[in-house]
Chains A and B, each alone.
Chain A
Amino acid sequence: SQQGEEDPQALSIQEGENATMNCSYKTSINNLQWYRQNSGRGLVHLILIRSNEREKHSGRLRVTLDTSKKSSSLLITASRAADTASYFCATNVNQGGKLIFGQGTELSVKP
């Protein structure tokens, strides 16, 4: 398997529910980042968690990082139809800032 694998690949929920997406990776990292992509658009940075951090919050987003298990999760609380998008985790492994992206989770939030 590859660096940065998300599950589930697709997630469909009702508005107001929480959405949880998971990411696993293989090598040691500087940080892990989550990005959002609306269909046909660019990637928008959501949140960055450093390798020495375990949890981070930003608005309705909560990210956890477990470096012993090489995994991260993104929780979106009280989801909205506008949260419908693809969500990618990406790991930064070197000083150059290069990111390695996972396959992504396609989230659909139904009104």
Chain B
Amino acid sequence: EPEVTQTPSHQVTQMGQEVILRCVPISNHLYFYWYRQILGQKVEFLVSFYNNEISEKSEIFDDQFSVERPDGSNFTLKIRSTKLEDSAMYFCASSPSGGSYNSPLHFGNGTRLTVT
């Protein structure tokens, strides 16, 4: 069964550094998402992406964050200058269609980001 794959599984970085988290969504999916989960807390929506542009973003997704689909397969999340509070598990997800077609999201296994 096709999967969403994320790399790396664990990233350690120093405060102020830039990080890029990578995701390969399922190939025929059209909607892409990033979520994060701070340890012990709920899964929080960051951003949704469709037709090569951001369709929705949360308050968390400030100017320090950006997303890109540089080619036909990868979907990346960049954090320009990491802060300690960015430490979390970041999940990529994809869906064949949006909510109006009642499609579930397919999640990757996540990248654990640790900012020191």
Contacts and interface: CB of A to CB of B under 8 A. Distances in A.
A33 B107 CA distance: 13
| Chain B interface, DSSP helix/strand/loop, else mixed | strand
A7 to B, nearest CB: 14
A53 B65 CA distance: 38
Interface of B: 4, 31, 33, 35, 41-45, 48, 50, 55-56, 89, 91, 93, 95, 97-100, 102-110, 112
Measured as residues with beta carbon below 8 angstroms from the partner, the interface class of chain A is 20 to 34
A30 B43 contact: no
A59 interface: no
A96 B48 contact: yes
A98 B91 contact: no
24 contacts: A30-B99, A30-B102, A35-B107, A40-B112, A42-B107, A42-B109, A43-B43, A45-B106, A48-B102, A48-B104, A94-B98, A95-B99, A96-B55, A96-B56, A96-B98, A97-B31, A97-B98, A98-B56, A99-B105, A101-B35, A101-B42, A101-B44, A101-B45, A104-B42
